[in-house]
Structure 1
Amino acid sequence: MGHLQRTILAGILAFLPLAITIWAVGLILDLLSGVGRPLVNALAGWAGMVVPKLTDVLTSDTVAWALAIVTTILLFYLLGLLTRAVIGQRLLGLVDTVMNRVPVVESLYRAVRQLLASFEARDGGSQRVVLIEFPSPQMKTIGLVTRVFTDVDSGAQIAAVYVPTTPNPTSGYMELVPVERLVWLDWTASEAMQFIVSGGTAAPNSIRFNGNTPPPPAG
């Protein structure tokens, strides 16, 4: 029984990484498919008026699912091209203006925009990845500095640190930490996310756990 249990456990541990990867990829593909499905349905309706038999083909589950994914990726690509163009930047500015005037939605939209902007690459691709003391001074966890404030009473620099959770980095919490208590890492945000999602198994070979270094320049 001991041999059987150990062998089954070894099989489960060998299968889990593949299963989790397949689940994550499937979830992403389903999200992409959901975005593009209305356009595929509209295309199927238009094609049905020209070639009626195409409607059944385009609306079949597998074909519609695949076409929706391709359509969504193409839309994101075109949106990226538009964003990098002058007219696209003006349109995004117009969207920001409209969204910032909608009650309730305005606060959520602005918060998401600021959070995403804080994760953009800075200083040649490095990110403000830090270690903070949690849950005790002898233990630390990974965080991402999203903003630095000034204490109105003491003038000290206070960092807003987003702390992602394992294995889902989209859920987490905020910590306000004095800048001098942070340990600044030379990791990128991608490396930090890989570390978090993998439970620490995927990480650079070295880490600065103790001591402090000056924060990177704001940018």
Structure 2
Amino acid sequence: MTSRIKNSFVAGLVLIAPLAVTLYILQLLTNWLLTVVDPVVAWLGLTQTTANNHLLAQALTTGLIVSGIVLVGYLAQRQAGQRMFGNMGRIIDFVPLVNVIYGSVRQVANSLVDHQSRYESVVLVEYPREGVYSIGLVTGEAPPAADSLAGDDAVNVFLPNSPNPTAGRLVVVPDDQVHEIDMSVRAGLRLVVTTGIGEDHSPALRELPADD
């Protein structure tokens, strides 16, 4: 019992810590930018055209943060930026705890952004028992040895954990036991990450495959 509580605490900490750190950093950045933008707004005399000086400063700060994120994303797509962020990532790898948080955030982000190159389609697989279906992501065709064992063509299906899709298990499933659904890979990953909370589910999930 104690072991289960400990494992649950660690799992929850790993999932919550990245979000908490991100929000904390954004708060620090916002507060710092406000100390810079507030005097600029007053100096430019913009208070004459708006009833709330602080509100205008917050709007400008939000715009600066969004622009900064876009700039970082633009640089990350260029060779020089990739080298810079690559060196930064290697430095972070040497920092205890920070490297774990940074690594988990980066893996989740890569899974959500680079989904098309990683997965082919979203499917339902009858797992872990008959009558219960798990959301899976087809990663490719199974090895020939698996085909001969299954007695039919088979595919590799990754069953992601929820709410952390970077972990899960790989199963080899015969083609006739893989049920394709009308859902994009992005929507499937979002469903896993949010654990289905607040999602407008596809009719494909409500119309589960009927038993033969």
Residue of structure 2 equivalent to 1:167: none
TM-score normalised by length of structure 1? 0.53
User: 1-side partners of 2:82 and 2:93: how far apart?
Assistant: 16
| Aligned mate of 1:162, from 160, 163, 177 | 160
Which has a greater percent of helix? Answer: 2
Letter in 1 for 2:60: L
Kept in 2, the 8 Å contact 1:44–1:59? The answer is no
User: 2-side partners of 1:74 and 1:106: how far apart?
Assistant: 26
User: 2-side partners of 1:138 and 1:173: how far apart?
Assistant: 26
Aligned residues: 163
Q: How does 1:117-196 map to 2 (within 5 A)?
A: 117-119=110-112, 120-123=114-117, 127=120, 129-133=122-126, 136-143=129-136, 161-164=159-162, 170=163, 174-180=167-173, 183=178, 185=180, 187-192=183-188, 193=190, 196=196
User: 2-side partners of 1:80 and 1:58: how far apart?
Assistant: 35
Show structure 2 runs of 5+ residues with no match: 1-22, 140-154
Query: Aligned pair in 2 of structure 1 residues 204, 210: CA closer, same or farther (>3 Å)?
Result: same
CA RMSD of aligned residues (A): 4.5
Query: Aligned pair in 2 of structure 1 residues 161, 141: CA closer, same or farther (>3 Å)?
Result: closer
Task: Tell me the alpha carbon deviations over residues 96-131 of structure 1, each in whole angstroms, 9 at most, x when there is no partner.
Answer: 1111111122223223322322331325x9655343
User: 2-side partners of 1:136 and 1:103: how far apart?
Assistant: 40
- Aligned-pair distance for 1:89? 0.8
2:169 partner SS: strand
Show structure 1 runs of 5+ residues with no match: 1-30, 147-156, 165-169, 212-219
Kept in 1, the 8 Å contact 2:157–2:173? The answer is no
User: 2-side partners of 1:105 and 1:111: how far apart?
Assistant: 10
TM-score normalised by length of structure 2? 0.54
Query: Aligned pair in 2 of structure 1 residues 145, 197: CA closer, same or farther (>3 Å)?
Result: farther
Kept in 2, the 8 Å contact 1:163–1:172? The answer is yes
Q: How does 1:65-80 map to 2 (within 5 A)?
A: 65-80=58-73
Kept in 2, the 8 Å contact 1:144–1:163? The answer is no
Query: Aligned pair in 2 of structure 1 residues 98, 60: CA closer, same or farther (>3 Å)?
Result: same
User: 2-side partners of 1:173 and 1:86: how far apart?
Assistant: 26
Query: Aligned pair in 2 of structure 1 residues 137, 65: CA closer, same or farther (>3 Å)?
Result: farther
Query: Aligned pair in 2 of structure 1 residues 179, 185: CA closer, same or farther (>3 Å)?
Result: same
Query: Aligned pair in 2 of structure 1 residues 172, 39: CA closer, same or farther (>3 Å)?
Result: same
Query: Aligned pair in 2 of structure 1 residues 58, 103: CA closer, same or farther (>3 Å)?
Result: farther
User: 2-side partners of 1:58 and 1:83: how far apart?
Assistant: 39
1:122 partner SS: helix
- Aligned-pair distance for 1:59? 8.2
% identical aligned pairs: 22
User: 2-side partners of 1:95 and 1:60: how far apart?
Assistant: 37
| Aligned mate of 1:39, from 26, 33, 36 | 33
Kept in 1, the 8 Å contact 2:158–2:168? The answer is yes
Letter in 2 for 1:117: N
2:83 partner SS: helix
